[in-house]
Chain A
Amino acid sequence: MTTVFGVPLPAILGQLMLGLVNGSFYALLSLGLAVIFGLLGVVNFAHGAFYMLGAFAAYIGLASFGVNYWWALLLAPLAVGLLGIVIERLLLRHLYQVEPVYGLLLTFGIALIAEGVMRSLFGASGKSYPVPSLLQGGLNLGFMVLPIYRAWVILASVTVCGVTWFLIERTRLGSRLRAATENAKLVQAFGINVPLLVMCTYGAGVALAALAGVLAAPVVQVSPLMGSSLVIVVFAVVVIGGMGSIPGAIVSGLVLGLIEGLTKVIYPEASNIVVFVIMAVVLIWRPAGLFGKEQ
């Protein structure tokens, strides 16, 4: 049998496939972070908490209101996005004039509060969310059996990433957004409602995190801590891709998922630090990140 690093080839292919699944989550989460940072300049530390709230919204919807998975994909991001808009309106808005670190502290506080509230409501061990019946079962790829649900995650994530990139880089709305971040006063003078635009952008970024949460709910335990362990990795992904770069976030999300997958076969103990090692190397070599522009 063909081997790579002493590991059989089918095993490597299997791990790459799983890496791609994880990479899809990273891409989706880092995309939201990159949108918020790129357009608002806010380091949104509450991103993991919104991801967790998205998963819990799906769970609560199913357990208490009989909302199925497919509706949850739409409603949970909407609900959590609205919460994001409220937070932007009431709190975050007042911090645009001061240093970014205040925004970071505020969102970090929000994350801690959200985690604490969910822990006291649902406990630290969390809840289990079933895989929707349409997506149960597995696909035999020859080298592994891939659960259909995981294949769906890749498809959904790549589609959402593509659509978001298109919206921001290739549409009129996107060009206004980018203009508003370059020079808010000037754009406002042209009669565009910049505060509204910014508010909706934050809401959309938060909704992306919640969508990732709903996608993750059937594969991981829905627990209050599910976001906090992920958000640090996702930040590293965004830094590697280049803070605020949308293609950077998507590409580095997928690639780092793959690298992490390989690490899990070759040296499992290092699998939770490999992303940070890469981050350190990238920062030394290209301080603005792989896709970032030097300022």
Chain B
Amino acid sequence: MTRKSTIVVLGALLGLYAASQASAAADQVVIGDIDDMSGVYADVMGQAGIDVINMAIADFGGTVLGKKITVLSVDHQNKPDIGASKFREWADQNGLTLVLGGSNTGVSIAMSKVAAAKKIPFIAIGAGGASLTGADCTPYTIHYAYDTTALGNGTASAIIKEGGKTWFFITADYAFGTQLQDAATKVVLANGGKVLGAVRAPLGTTDYSSFLLQAQASGAQVLGLANAGTDFSNSLKAANEFGITKTMKPAALLAFLTDIHAATLQTAQGLYLTTGFYWDINDQTRAFGKRFFAKVNRMPTMDQAAVYSATIQYLNAVKAVGSTDSDKVMAQLKKTKINDFFAKDGYIRADGLMVHTMYVMKVKTPAESKYPWDYYKVVKVMTGEEADGAQPDPTCPMVKK
């Protein structure tokens, strides 16, 4: 076969493939999961997130309005362009009806722009940046699990109450880290504290020792870690090694259960952190934890619990309005109260933020931990309003109108 005819045949095949995808999509509900499957945040949601979505769909009955529910998934590799282009591609070719996931605020901001352009609901779960429902809000974005405002309000105020008035931040140098630092700074200043300095470390830095020496030289009482994943465990580990934890109190502004597990209790004991979910809070959370454990062989993070809850909420909304029409579904979602194993007293605010009960936790010492994954004790239960404020974010253009 000549080269030209090969290309023609290939083109025809691709065309056929695309056509079959598009026609198949009409009678389907298509849920796309775009998340970090292989990078620094892969344990927080990752492959297990797909398992959870499928678990939720199976629990829902496998179909909605008599339509099959299909799950598509892709690794966004922490690159905004990949997240956005996959979203667009699925919207154009695969009859996409909902996107979940998006760990990494930078990627989620790019994806929410596509959500607005394509008018397809996007439930951001893994990302923390509060701007997703602030300056970057869209009518089709829901921010489901937690945001940087809640993390700042929870962790920073708990530490200030214990006397930690002066802070130094080690911040992941991208949208999430800076928003997290801003949120914590607001709380510190509002409570009469002071920020003595901050360094912005590139995402994926492995050696934090030089940043830690700068932190120590500042003389601050609190070491605010405005990072996540392996960045968090590496910075905490080095802080222990350099003996900085003896003079400064480390604050985990965002740490997931898997991060604590990876850092070990020996290193992480005594840390304060804020979370929207912990598997060992009540019988419902424990039941989900055990089901998840049976599948994945570890306990679920807040995000993995949230994605189950979000999938069910979405399917319920589709069922209630009798269609996958984005505007109808969004309206239904925004007027539904959310009370399940993940969220207590939850509701979706006008700006798209899912406000719900959050917990300030203290990491147990190895002696206090009685069984595997027994890592946290509850220090404070915050209502959704305490965590995020009662009013929608005024920087969200949608709210002003």
Contacts and interface: CB of A to CB of B under 8 A. Distances in A.
B60 interface: no
Contacts of A18: 207, 209-210, 213
A83 to B, nearest CB: 22
A22 B211 CA distance: 14
Nearest to B41: A124
B213 A229 contact: no
A138 to B, nearest CB: 6
Contacts of B324: none
Interface string A260-287: 0100110011011000000000000000
**A interface residue count range (under 10 / 10 to 19 / 20 to 34 / 35 or more):** 35 or more
Given A18-B207, A269-B200, A272-B205, A124 B214 contact: no
B242 A145 contact: yes
B39 A219 contact: no
A219 B238 contact: yes
Nearest to A22: B207
B115 to A, nearest CB: 26
A221 B241 contact: no
A98 B262 CA distance: 43
A102 to B, nearest CB: 23
Contacts of B241: 131, 147, 149, 219
A229 B206 contact: yes
B218 to A, nearest CB: 11
Contacts of A15: 210, 213
A55 to B, nearest CB: 11
A246 to B, nearest CB: 25
A123 B298 contact: yes
B344 interface: no
B234 interface: yes
Given A18-B213, A128-B262, A225-B40, A271 B205 contact: yes
B259 interface: yes
A127 interface: yes
B320 interface: no
A59 to B, nearest CB: 12
Interface string B177-212: 000000000000000000000011110111101110
A272 B173 CA distance: 11
B243 A229 contact: no
B300 interface: no
Interface residues of B, number: 40
A11 interface: yes
Nearest to B237: A221
Contact of A125 (B199, B237, B259): B259
Given A11-B217, A125-B259, A128-B264, A220 B206 contact: yes
A123 B209 contact: no
Nearest to B217: A11
Contact of A265 (B204, B214, B261): B214
Interface in B266-296: 266-267
Nearest to A229: B204
Contact of B258 (A123, A144, A261): A123
Choose among B204, B209, B264 the residue with the greatest number of A CB atoms under 10 Å from its CB: B209
Given A219-B241, A230-B206, A124 B213 contact: no
Contacts of A21: 207, 209
Contacts of B147: none
B139 interface: no
B206 A125 contact: no
A226 interface: yes
Contacts of B38: 115-116, 119, 124
Contacts, number: 109
Contacts of A107: none
A68 B278 CA distance: 35
Interface in A99-148: 115-116, 119, 123-128, 130-131, 138, 144-145, 147
A149 B209 CA distance: 13
B346 interface: no
Contacts of A269: 173, 200, 202
A245 interface: no
Contacts of A261: 210
Given A128-B237, A221-B233, A225-B39, A144 B205 contact: no
A264 B230 contact: no
B43 interface: yes
A229 to B, nearest CB: 5
A112 to B, nearest CB: 9
A127 B202 contact: no
Given A145-B242, A268-B211, A124 B42 contact: yes
A100 to B, nearest CB: 27
A125 B43 contact: yes
Choose among A15, A124, A147, A264 the residue with the greatest number of B CB atoms under 10 Å from its CB: A124
Interface in A194-210: none
Nearest to B198: A268
A223 interface: yes
B229 interface: yes
A14 interface: yes
Interface in A21-48: 21-22
B270 to A, nearest CB: 16
A268 B213 contact: no
B215 to A, nearest CB: 11
Contact of B200 (A116, A119, A125, A268): A268
Given A220-B206, A225-B40, A125 B233 contact: yes
13 contacts: A8-B217, A11-B217, A14-B213, A124-B39, A125-B259, A126-B230, A128-B266, A225-B40, A261-B210, A268-B200, A269-B200, A271-B201, A272-B202
Given A128-B237, A149-B241, A264-B211, 13 more contacts: A11-B214, A14-B213, A18-B207, A124-B39, A124-B43, A124-B229, A138-B242, A147-B241, A220-B207, A220-B237, A225-B230, A261-B210, A268-B199
Interface of A: 8, 11, 14-15, 18-19, 21-22, 115-116, 119, 123-128, 130-131, 138, 144-145, 147, 149-150, 219-221, 223, 225-226, 229-230, 261, 264-265, 268-269, 271-272
Interface of B: 38-43, 46, 173, 199-202, 204-207, 209-211, 213-214, 217, 229-230, 233-234, 237-238, 241-243, 258-259, 261-264, 266-267, 298
